[in-house]
Amino acid sequence: MRRLAVCLGVLAALAVPQVAHGDAVTDWSLHAQTAILSTAPTAHHSTLSFAMVHGAVYDAVNSIDGRYQRYLRVPWAKPTASKDAAAATAAFRVLVHLFPAQAPTLQGHYDASLAAIPDGRSKTRGIAAGEAAAAAMIADRQGDGRLPAGTPYPFPQGTTPGAWRVSPPLTAVDPAWWVGDVKPFMVPSARLLRSDGPNRLTSHAYARDLNEVKRLGELDSPYRTADQTMAAIFWQAQPLQIYGGLMRELSSRYRLSTAQNARLFGMVTLAAADGAIGCWNDKYERRFWRPIEAVRLADTDGNPKTEADPDWTPLFDPSTPTTPALATPNFPEHPSGHGCVSGSTAGALREFFGTDRIAFDVYSPRFPGQPRHFDRFSDMIGEVIEARIWGGIHFRTADEQGAELGEKVVRWQRWLYFHRRF
């Protein structure tokens, strides 16, 4: 009953959209996005950095607000401390730690943030709260399994039916293959998030999945509509670039407070990070081939219901007109990375707002100014699942199990973190 009362209270507070506004949490979400996406080599790598930033921001602001449980054991601050100073300081310190080469630019943003806050004890105490939260996050993530750029790739390329190998035209392997071995942020072990796994090559379910993506995901498929083609390309962008904009829009629409923003961004980014960690742990356990190999080599899979097409090419091919160029991703197929991260993101958004039924638009850098509209968070996940099939890069089973993995993360989060203290 208490959980129901909390959800109803959030809905009541968010019922009427208000005039747009900003605070240090939303400002620094954009600074973090710019810094991270210009440096992190992959989407699954970038989720870890976003989680570190916003996990620290949550602890910094919540140590002042005091209404929710802490993520890490940071000291409680005076309730009169500046939440904006705390948020800016926590984000700044974590980002400089992660990306020291960007310190001059980040320092400029930080100076501007502090200049907007009146000098005095409140500001000083807020800075101290931010410093403590950042230090706790940095200490907690020391030795967490993140590896430096250039760490040698340890897995052999597959040669047998069903075994993953880099898909043409790419030749380089995944530079952040190690994400699956990183310590999760909330879930006790990535192994607790394991999916059921891909279908057996000789099964009816595998043939159904292969024939579906072969038909709908082909470069010039006559069965895929123009809107489905757009959707497939639309979603091939950094998930947290898309979802960062969505969170800022929802924050503005519902005029969330600094404390509410800290909790929203903390919940979503920590869930997304564990979704990526669980996904990559599963991917390199399975090391399952992509549709391009599966279709071209279907005469080797032992399944009488599949037929090889040596010239089959997916929509995600450099010949498709979009920037940056498209290609089959250079890591194993199962489960879907976008499904895992989007599933955990949508679930965390649903948990924060206490309902699935919120109408919203999402924007992609692939189609500036051309948003896609959804009436529910679950509708968005439904399109992400289909979009990876339309793009010719995933089997339906991988998409659906990826979304389910993301939901597992949210169930762990629901019971372990972000609860009210009173």
The DSSP result for 214-278, as a single string, is: HHHSBTT-SSS-HHHHHHHHHT-S-HHHHHHHHHHHHHHHTT--HHHHHHHHHHHHHHHHHHHHH
Phi, psi of 22 (to 5 degrees): -140, 160
Q: What is the pLDDT of residue 422?
A: 75
pLDDT tens digit sequence for 231-281: 999 999 988 889 999 999 999 999 999 999 999 999 999 999 999 999 999
Burial class (CB in 10 A: 0-12, 13-18, 19+), 172: exposed
Mean pLDDT of 323-343: 97
Q: What is the pLDDT of residue 5?
A: 34
Instruction: Decide if pLDDT at 175 tops 80.
Output: yes
Residue 281 to residue 278: CA distance in whole angstroms: 5
pLDDT band at 149 (very low <50, low <70, confident <90, very high): confident
* Count of CA atoms in the C-beta half-sphere (13 A) of 78: 11
pLDDT tens digit sequence for 201-217: 999 999 999 999 999 99
Cβ contacts of residue 219 below 8 Å, gap of 6+?
313, 314, 315, 317, 319, 320, 392
Closest to 299 in 3D by CA, of 287, 288, 312: 312
What is the value of pTM for the model shown? 0.94
Domain ranges in the chain are 13-146+162-416
Q: Which overall architecture, per CATH, does domain 13-146+162-416 show?
A: Orthogonal Bundle (1.10)
Token couple for 265: 């961004």
Instruction: Decide if pLDDT at 63 tops 90.
Output: yes
Q: What is the pLDDT of residue 40?
A: 67
